[in-house]
Amino acid sequence: MSTTSRTVHASRRLHGQRLEVELFNPDRIEQAAQTFLRDGFVAIADALDASQLRRVQAGCARVIAEQTAATPVDQANRGLARYSFGQQIQHSEWAMLVDLPTVLPIIDRIWGSEDYTSIGGGGDYCLPGAQMQGLHSDLGDHFKDPLGQIDCRDVPTPFIVVNFPMVDFSEANGATRFVPGTQRSRANIPSLADEPEWMRRNLLCVPAGSALIRDVRCWHGGTPNTSQQIRPMASTGYHAPWFRALRSRDLPRAVHATLSPRGQRLTDLLVGD
């Protein structure tokens, strides 16, 4: 595999200056890991091959049809026309995402270990008409230090999510925006009303089949979908070797048995009867 990388010309502005986001090939493990540690996220090219992408796209389309038939857009669980998939590890399309050789070596390098564990799979999608979502972090403070000296922002990343765009993300279809370097910030996250314009324009426009490996503490938010296209993003997540939290046991043993030996180790805590 080539060691070259591509550049995503995303609508990201920092202090008024246009930035470029490097899209790393999967074999650039060290560079990808260092970028993740610096920015709180890193984009990986061709994480899914064409067959895998079609498979996950079909799974997302199936679940989207089921969920939107049951829940109208004005009652979506993430705001108007914006939905979370919820836990989908019970489906083979999401179970496959847990054990990708294009992604795991980079996470191995980030944590310096292979002993982390899967928390399952899900993701989100927005339909045409979805509005701006406020910036947020996906992890609250688990430490609850009674002395107030440490919280979850003071430690290496405890929780990584890998997002897989199912379509090419664009400004029109609601690409996610990120504020790089905020994964360990003690600053208050600005409200939507107070968010500066450069943060609003920090769109990460990555192509379908790529992977976005992110520290869930890094500030991010959805943007308006002004297109006529549904914008789905599948995901899988991992807890650090030293971090545990409650997780549901939704992975059928029959699906667990189809995974590689490492995939089975990663998901042992998700298996249910």
Owning domain of residue 43: 6-272
pLDDT digit string, tens, across residues 91-131: 999 999 999 999 999 999 999 999 999 999 999 999 999 99
The two structure tokens encoding residue 137: 């972090």
182 found inside a domain:
yes
Mapping DSSP onto H, E and C, the string for the chain reads CCCCCEEECCCCEECCEECCEEEECCCCHHHHHHHHHHHCEEEECCCCCHHHHHHHHHHHHHHHHHHHHHCCHHHCECECCEEECCCCCCCHHHHHHCCCCCCHHHHHHHHCCCCCEEEEEEEEEECCCCCCCCCECCCCCCCCCCCCCCCHHHCCCCEEEEEEECCCCCCCCCCCEECCCCCCCCCCCCCCCCCCHHHHCCECCCCCCCEEEEECCCCEECCCCCCCCCEEEEEEEEECCCCCCCCCCCEEHHHHCCCCHHHHHHHHHHEEC
CATH number, domain with residue 237 = 2.60.120.620
Using the predicted structure, report yes or no on whether residue 10 has a pLDDT greater than 50. no
Percent of the chain at pLDDT above 70? 92
| pLDDT tens, position by position, 139-170 | 988 888 999 899 999 999 999 999 999 999 99
Of 7, 87, 94, which Cα lies nearest the Cα of 57?
94
**Residue range 190-215, pLDDT digits in tens:** 999 999 999 998 999 999 999 999 99
72 located within any domain: yes
21 band by pLDDT with thresholds 50, 70 and 90: confident
Phi, psi for residue 82 in degrees, rounded to 5:
-125, 125
Checking if the pLDDT of 87 tops 60, the result is: yes
Number of domains the chain is built from? 1
Q: What is the pLDDT of residue 200?
A: 92
Whole-number Å distance between alpha carbons of 163 and 143: 26
% of the chain beyond a pLDDT of 90:
86
Strand 220-221 and strand 177-178: the pairing is: antiparallel
Q: What is the pLDDT of residues 232-245, one digit of tens each?
A: 999 999 999 999 88
Confidence of residue 11 (pLDDT cuts 50, 70, 90): very low
* Confidence at residue 6, expressed as pLDDT on a 0 to 100 scale: 60
CA gap 36, 77 in Å, rounded: 29
Residue 109 lies in a domain: yes
What number is the average pLDDT over the span 27-45?
97
Question: Is 1 domain-assigned?
Answer: no
What is residue 7's predicted lDDT score, i.e. its pLDDT?
52
